[in-house]
């Protein structure tokens, strides 16, 4: 029999033991969810070692090529997709379809790495984006458990394997939303810098204008400043090329579904509805959802809800773009643990939303479930007040460019034979 003092000590230690047990379970779930992406990473390493470097670089090849060409003022190649493809195939041989698909404002980011070799550029970019994401989360008061969990999320790993910019976008948009209440100038600056991917920010302007007007002002200032800087660096032809060449090609991806390398990976409401209703019906469905998301942003104060609305509102959504949704899931789990429990069905919902991005490359049918999962997550985020704006205090654990007259393209930073 335990004495009263021993019983009191046992009760006093129960919360710590329960907390340790919860952390262990979460750690095991997080580790399990990394397995599909780790297997995919092993396949990429195999391809690199067997001479398929161009294919192993995946979307990172566009990041490096765009940065390299912008750095050397080769606009005529960037905005001529045949010349662009020839440039890449001259280095790596036959490749899937590639295209520079961003405005010149993102060219500023890519050009900062364009002087490096392709692998050096993409890996440096990946690491710096992850460090920025971790830094913003820490600045927002998130502990190392929370930060480490998000850095190991399947969406984070998929983003790194594709060498895409979702970690950067999540740091800018997610960090901006978390910091909007107590650091509106910084928050607005972060969100404004995310303007190079406007499809993920459709719900933000009206939300900021109502909830954090100072952040809205600094966001607008940062967005205009970034565009002006790219105009100064690359000239008006860069924006003319984007408006008259790049933008129509990306619109054509939605209209025709070609090239399949771009359209095949879409997981938006538009992509889910299109096989049943055709293009016009898909546009109507996405338009209704996007408008509803924008209006919903006016009436919510919840960071997870805003991150989910951002994904739902975008017609051009890929698996790595779900990193913002993974941040929303982490915030919801953190709150549920602090509240003492989950509602019925929430653990399974959170698990599917967290695990799904890593599973999707192996089971593409998951793409059809993404809009439904996002809607269910939105309902969960909005119940009983959800998670509000975060302060900075620590939380407890729980082509107009003529092809004629092209100048000579400088040799890339490293000599590569086709593979």
- pLDDT tens digits for 317-340? 999 999 999 999 999 999 988 887
Residue 49 belongs to some domain of the structure: yes
Q: What domain range includes position 378?
A: 45-385
Is a pLDDT exceeding 70 seen at residue 304? yes
How much is the pLDDT for 140? Answer: 95
Over the chain, what is the mean pLDDT?
86
Residue 200 belongs to some domain of the structure: yes
Residue 293 belongs to some domain of the structure: yes
Residue 82 belongs to some domain of the structure: yes
Residue 29 belongs to some domain of the structure: no
Calculate mean pLDDT across residues 125-154: 96
HEC states along the chain? CCCHHHHHHHHHHHHHHHHHHHHHHHHHHHHHHCHHHHHHHHHHHHHHHCCCHHHHHCCHHHHHHHHHHHHCCCHHHHCCHHHHHHHHHHHHCCCCCCCCCCCHHHHHHHHCCCCCCHHHHHHHHHHHHHHHHHHHHHHCCCCHHHHHHHHCCHHHHHHHHHCCCHHHHHHHHHHHHHHCCCCHHHHHHHHHHHHHCHHHCCCHHHHHHHHCHHHHHHHHHHHHHHHHHHHHHHCHHHHHHHHHHHHHHHHHHHHHCCCHHHHCCCCCHHHHHHHHHHHHHHHHHHHHHHHHHHHHHCCCCCHHHHHHHHHHHCCCCCHHHHHHHHHHHHHHHHHHHHHCCCCCCHHHHHHHHHHHHHHCCCCHHHHHHHHHHHHHHHHHHHHHHCCCCCCCCCCCCCCCCCCCCCCCCCCCCCCCCCC
Calculate mean pLDDT across residues 174-199: 95
Is a pLDDT exceeding 90 seen at residue 404? no
Residue 143 belongs to some domain of the structure: yes
Domain count, the chain: 1
Residue 267 belongs to some domain of the structure: yes
How much is the pLDDT for 19? Answer: 65
Residue 400 belongs to some domain of the structure: no
């Amino acid at each position: 029999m335990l004495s009263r003092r021993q019983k009191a000590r046992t009760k006093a230690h129960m919360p710590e033991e329960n907390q340790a047990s919860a952390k262990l379970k979460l750690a095991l779930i997080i580790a399990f969810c990394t397995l599909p992406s780790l297997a995919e990473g092993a396949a990429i390493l195999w391809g690199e070692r067997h001479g398929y470097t161009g294919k192993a670089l995946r979307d990172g090849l566009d990041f490096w090529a765009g940065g390299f060409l912008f750095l050397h003022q080769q606009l005529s190649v960037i905005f001529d997709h045949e010349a662009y493809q020839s440039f890449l195939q001259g280095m790596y041989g036959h490749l899937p379809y590639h295209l520079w698909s961003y405005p010149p404002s993102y060219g500023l980011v890519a050009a900062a790495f364009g002087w490096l070799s392709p692998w050096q550029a993409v890996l440096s970019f990946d690491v710096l984006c992850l460090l920025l994401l971790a830094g913003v989360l820490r600045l927002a008061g998130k502990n190392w458990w929370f930060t480490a969990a998000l850095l190991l999320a399947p969406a984070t790993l998929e983003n790194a394997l594709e060498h895409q910019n979702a970690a950067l976008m999540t740091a800018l948009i997610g960090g901006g939303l978390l910091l909007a209440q107590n650091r509106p100038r910084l928050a607005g600056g972060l969100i404004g810098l995310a303007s190079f991917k406007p499809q993920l920010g459709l719900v933000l302007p009206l939300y900021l204008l109502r909830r954090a007007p100072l952040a809205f002002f600094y966001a607008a200032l940062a967005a205009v400043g970034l565009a002006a800087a790219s105009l100064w660096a690359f000239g008006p032809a860069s924006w003319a090329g984007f408006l008259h060449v790049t933008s129509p090609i990306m619109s054509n991806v939605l209209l025709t579904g070609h090239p399949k390398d771009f359209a095949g990976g879409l997981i938006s409401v538009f992509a889910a509805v299109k096989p049943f209703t055709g293009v016009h019906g898909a546009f109507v469905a996405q338009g209704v959802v996007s408008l509803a998301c924008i209006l919903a942003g006016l009436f919510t104060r919840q960071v997870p809800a805003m991150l989910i609305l951002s994904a739902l509102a975008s017609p051009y959504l890929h698996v790595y773009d779900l990193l913002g949704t993974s941040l929303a899931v982490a915030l919801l789990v953190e709150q549920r643990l602090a509240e003492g429990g989950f509602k019925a069905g929430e653990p399974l919902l959170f698990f599917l939303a967290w695990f799904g991005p890593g599973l999707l490359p192996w089971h593409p049918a998951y793409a059809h479930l993404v809009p439904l999962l996002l809607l269910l997550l939105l309902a969960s985020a909005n119940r009983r007040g959800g998670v509000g704006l975060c302060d900075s205090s620590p939380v407890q654990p729980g082509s107009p460019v003529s092809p004629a007259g092209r100048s000579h393209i400088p040799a890339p930073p490293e000599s590569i034979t086709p593979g």
